[in-house]
Chain A
Amino acid sequence: MLTKGDKILIATVILVAFVIFTGFQIYGFTGGKTYAVIEINGKEYQKISLGKDGPKMQLKVAGFIGDVVLEIDRDKVRVVASDCPDKDCVRQGWVSKPGQTLVCLPNRVVVKIQNTESTNEVDGVSF
């Protein structure tokens, strides 16, 4: 039923789909500036712009039950240490892509990665 050409075509399509998928995973598609927005107890505390020329620093944030130490390395953010019992925030590791978040629930500290282009857009259309 299936000819050799069919099988080659199917393999090619899967390969191309995979390449496009990984390409977008690695490079992303957003232009514009990327920010790390630090929120404490739901209120915005600080906004740090990320990128190739971003800061390289450690930042101590006073959370709800203790301090949260954030490390910002050019275009990515992580939690180095936190005064919370479970350390889930530390285990989350680095985040860098718009839409990703770091959360320390006991301290009520949230770090959101946002992008100027993606925040001003509607995220749905109907047709």
Chain B
Amino acid sequence: MAKTKKLVYLSLLVAGGVALHVIESMIPVPFPVPGAKLGLANIISLLAIVLYGTREGLEVNILRCLIGSFLGGSMSSLIYSLSGAISSTLVMGFAVKYFEKVFSLVGVSILGSITHNFAQVTVASVVLSTFGIYSYLPFLMVVGLLTGGFTGLAANFAKEKLSGSVGLMETVDRRR
């Protein structure tokens, strides 16, 4: 029973992530930096990590990327978003597990977005086979600071509401 419950909740998280992923692609980017985006779906990955754990966060995030790219995206955008998603989820999971006292969710989210940026720039430099792309990293990092802080804040509010009402917490032992 608990297993089914978890399955349902994780699926709900994936669905929410896909919805945010698609909605986000419709929002014009308010920054004059190409490649920068809000990263709304990061709210869901962060929630999955905090409520369940790194492994579940990874599952939710990879599924979200796959489905999101099928709905609106291309093969190369899938490579970019998968590399960013996997690395940022691993880093965020690590931060939540071992540095819970040091970083709030905002800090964890910023860490994730910076990792996401770094991974994407690395993939871009491999795809375009030029090291010069890294000169673009500082701009992405500053933008990532803002968007990461915002998504972290959003995830924080969502966590407070969710852990009180839906009963996500009682169904699973936190963090394995």
Q: Please report A residues at the B interface, Cβ cutoff 8 Å.
A: 1-6, 9-10, 13-14, 16-18, 20-21, 24, 29-30, 121, 125, 127
Contact = CB atoms under 8 A, between A and B. Distances in A.
17 contacts: A1-B153, A2-B106, A4-B102, A5-B102, A5-B104, A6-B103, A6-B110, A9-B103, A10-B110, A13-B141, A13-B142, A16-B141, A17-B138, A17-B142, A20-B138, A30-B132, A125-B128
Interface range for B: 20 to 34
A30 B77 CA distance: 27
Interface string B127-147: 010111011011101101100
Nearest to A6: B107
A24 B134 contact: yes
A127 B137 contact: no
Contacts of A121: 130
B76 to A, nearest CB: 4
Contacts of A125: 128
B67 interface: no
